[in-house]
Chains A and B, each alone.
Chain A
Amino acid sequence: MPVIEVSGLHKEYGPKVAVDDVSFTVEAGEIFGILGPNGAGKTTTVECVTGLRKPDGGRISVLGLDPQRDHDELRQQVGVQLQDGQLPDKLRVREALELYASFYSQPADADELIKRLGLGDRRDTAFEKLSGGQKQRLSVALALIGTPKVAVLDELTTGLDPAARREVWGLISEIRDTGVTIVLVTHFMEEAERLCDRLAVIDRGRVIATDTPSGLAGRAGGEQYIRFTASGPLDEDELAALPEVHTVRQEGDQFALTGDEEALQAVMGVLIRRGIIARHLRLEQASLDDAFVALTGKGQ
């Protein structure tokens, strides 16, 4: 049974339609990504899922509960990390966790959580003195302090430097391994690609695709890009004649090809027969980026 079921979600703010028609399901124990450009309706969608906003239409079920009707019960079982949710400047890490622990009926051990999130040496540091990465880790800790079954994390790594981002990513994988189902809202391709088991791409208030990251990438045409420098004379036409190869471009001894998934194999066959070595060989897959641009018609 899915942990979260959303069907036909619709939400307007005055004349502006924030979410037009969104449906998806999230299975137990997975990291489900909600990906989309800024202003696509991602945050509004999770705000409705977590009961912060009342939808204008559609049906939402989280752990079999209705976010509006079963508000109180849902709060106990769903941890939420909101975009831009801060804490009072002078509040210390440990105090924040102990305070939030006091809100829940079955809180996690604050000390253990602090250690697990690598904040052990920041226990008595005030919120204002934490680095961006530490603030985000504390934020994740607050979402987990109530031992939730589902954690909703919105724009977790926006504004973090690459090292801090990687640190938080590692953390999310670990949390999933403890059995928590995670909904991750992001507009970062790389983040979605690395973390998510499945994702829904939202654009202009609608789900335009739901698939695994590699499945989505595959929709961009499944093309591979191959580039190499030939060690000896090689005929462009011989490569172009291969059924697996779609296009070939030659500049001196440099070759750039596109082809299907078996193109590399076929090209290497030719090179081996000719006794030619491919130097500086590079192989690129169509990425989630390409898929995203293809699906939404916009670049990031």
Chain B
Amino acid sequence: MSSAAVQQDGSPALAVDGLVAGYGGVIALDGVSISAGTAAITAVLGANGAGKTTLLRAVSGMIKPRRGRVLLGGADLAGRSPEQIVRAGIAHVTEGQGVIPELTVEENLRVGMMSWPGPLSRAPGSRSRNPRAERAAALDEAYGRFRPLADRRRKLAATLSGGERQMLVIARALLSRPHVLLLDEPSLGLAPRIMAQVMDLVVRLSREQGLTIVLVEQNARSALAVADHGVVLNLGRVVASADAQTLAADVALRHHYLGF
């Protein structure tokens, strides 16, 4: 039922196959299969309780799937811990409070680099000549891209506005050098103007950086406006999967599942 959004070598960057996951006695994902094309934006849509956040959590390792596979570049990551999955290249920006308010902006960013291979790492080509310089360079790059963060680098994250916090969260996630970025409602609680800026950023990340993005959004309209491909969930199942324009044009589907 899912039409994969493929890229040049024909394989999606991230694929979820028959995923079943839940909390306690409740099954929130009931056999979900989704593909996210490389360097594309895949929107995951649906009403509250449809399973969107659960899907992201199962992919990033926050919860353990009961069945199914999570495939990144051919490797099945299902059941691994979040620490391992972020090292494999999947970064998850969670819904709601994503910054650690008790740490400074710079410390929050440094946390993002904690998944880099350490000095004793055995992964081929991962040991850098000068890790400290690399980190400093990465921080500079982040400050360059996100000016407001540079201005507040020594301030506690608690003092940032909503939009700035979202910027910080995304900057931190990017510092883990992911191949795939999972975004859970990045515009939640933000003013429309800021929301537009965030969406803008998301698009640029995918176009300029080649980042594969999976975007969960309540606001289906704005999500479909930026996405390449869309998947609609309802009660833990995939009910529609098509490219974004097709979904946006399907008025009956929109009314039924997406509220517009």
Q: Do A and B bind each other?
A: no
